[in-house]
Structure formats: structure tokens, C-alpha cells
């Protein structure tokens, strides 16, 4: 049985630099030869979810892990600081409503040169303007409302922010 070329075809590869798909090597959009997933081992992205609700955090962790992320969970800001000190994640999902000292955590991360590159996205149930303004002012890179975005949409948003950060 002949393999068909097209979407989902196992013979097609994706360039890890420019996300172009093809069945052969070709010049990459970045100007060099494409680096397919078979030629360059992909590093798994790291995510830290800071939320006291283990069920909620577990749902999001599974969604990210299905997309080849490594998810770690922290119930509060103190535990999050310990995990960041051990190994800084690429991104952090933070419940700005229920985590005490959430804003202080974000400010501390953004002021420290070793953790300032972490993409921090607030995932919260509050949508009033003052809370949005305060959350973004403390240094978060994104603000998402619980119940208005799915875990898949959240993952896509975080991935886009991380890719933008890497390009800078």
C-alpha cells in the first residue's frame, strides 16, 4: 500500500525553526537548511501551573503534556518560587485570584534576570477592568478568563507567547 502525501502523512516532516512541512529538505524561511524533527531533537517546553485547585491544574497539565510539554504544579507562590529556583520554566500559568501573593510572585520573577524570560499568563475568573489592569501592570504577559477559553485555546495562546519570546 502506497503512502499518500498530505496532511498527517508520516513521510512529511516539519521544520522546527519555521514550522514549514515537506517531504524533503529545502531552504528554510530563516535562510538556512530546514531542521526537521528527525535531524534536531526537540527540547520539551517546561510549564509551571500555580493554582491551589489540583483538579483544575491537572486538567491543564494533561492538555499541555499531550502537546509534549513538561508540566509541574505548585499550589501557592512559595512552592512556585522553589520550583523556579530549581529549574526555570518556559511559561507559567497563574491563578491570580486564589493564589496569595500572586502579584508579588510575578514582580519578583520579572525583576530577577534569571527568571525574567518566563512567560507568565494569568488565568483568572475575574474580568473587571481594574483587575485586568492590575494584573498586566505587575508584569504578566497575558490574561485569560476561566470559562471563556478552553485548555486547548490556553495552550495555543501560551505557545504563541513563548514563540514570540524566543524570536526576540
Instruction: Verify that 118 and 148 share a domain, yes or no.
Output: yes
Q: What is the mean pLDDT of residues 46-62?
A: 95
| More confident call, 161 vs 1 | 161
Q: What is the mean pLDDT of residues 77-103?
A: 93
Q: Is the pLDDT of residue 22 over 80?
A: no
Instruction: Verify that 74 and 120 share a domain, yes or no.
Output: yes
The pLDDT value recorded for residue 71 is 97
Contact 25, 117 (CB under 8 A): no
Domain containing 148 equals: 45-167
Instruction: Verify that 100 and 21 share a domain, yes or no.
Output: no
Burial class (CB in 10 A: 0-12, 13-18, 19+), 128: exposed
Task: Please tell me the pTM assigned to this model.
Answer: 0.73
For the chain, the average pLDDT equals 83
Instruction: Verify that 11 and 76 share a domain, yes or no.
Output: no
CB burial readout 12-36, b (16+ within 10 A) else e: ebbbbbeeeeeeeeeebeeeeebbb
Instruction: Verify that 54 and 28 share a domain, yes or no.
Output: no
Q: How far is CA 103 from the centre of its chain?
A: 19
User: With pLDDT > 90 as the criterion, what percentage of the chain qualifies?
Assistant: 64
Q: Total structural domains in the chain?
A: 2
CATH number of residue 119's parent domain: 3.40.50.2300
Instruction: Verify that 31 and 98 share a domain, yes or no.
Output: no
Instruction: Verify that 63 and 34 share a domain, yes or no.
Output: no
Q: What is the mean pLDDT of residues 7-28?
A: 53
Q: Is the pLDDT of residue 50 over 60?
A: yes
Contact 105, 76 (CB under 8 A): no
How confident is residue 136, by pLDDT bands cut at 50, 70 and 90? Answer: very high
Handedness of CA 76, 78, 83, 87 (dihedral sign): positive
How confident is residue 7, by pLDDT bands cut at 50, 70 and 90? Answer: very low
The pLDDT value recorded for residue 16 is 54
Amino acid at each position: 500500500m502506497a503512502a499518500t502525501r498530505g496532511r498527517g502523512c508520516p513521510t512529511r516532516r516539519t521544520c522546527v525553526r519555521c514550522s514549514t512541512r515537506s517531504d524533503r529538505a529545502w531552504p528554510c524561511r530563516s535562510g538556512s537548511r530546514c531542521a526537521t524533527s528527525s535531524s534536531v531533537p526537540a527540547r520539551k517546553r517546561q510549564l509551571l501551573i500555580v493554582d491551589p485547585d489540583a483538579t483544575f491544574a491537572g486538567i491543564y497539565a494533561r492538555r499541555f503534556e499531550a502537546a509534549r510539554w513538561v508540566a509541574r504544579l505548585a499550589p501557592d507562590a512559595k512552592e512556585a518560587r522553589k520550583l523556579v529556583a530549581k529549574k526555570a520554566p518556559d511559561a507559567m500559568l497563574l491563578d491570580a485570584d486564589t493564589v496569595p501573593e500572586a502579584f508579588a510572585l510575578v514582580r519578583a520573577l520579572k525583576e530577577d534576570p534569571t527568571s525574567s524570560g518566563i512567560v507568565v499568563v494569568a488565568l483568572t475568573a475575574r474580568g473587571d477592568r481594574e483587575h485586568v489592569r492590575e494584573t498586566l501592570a505587575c508584569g504578566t504577559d497575558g490574561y485569560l478568563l476561566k470559562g471563556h477559553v478552553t485548555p486547548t485555546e490556553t495552550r495555543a495562546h501560551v505557545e504563541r507567547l513563548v514563540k514570540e519570546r524566543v524570536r526576540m
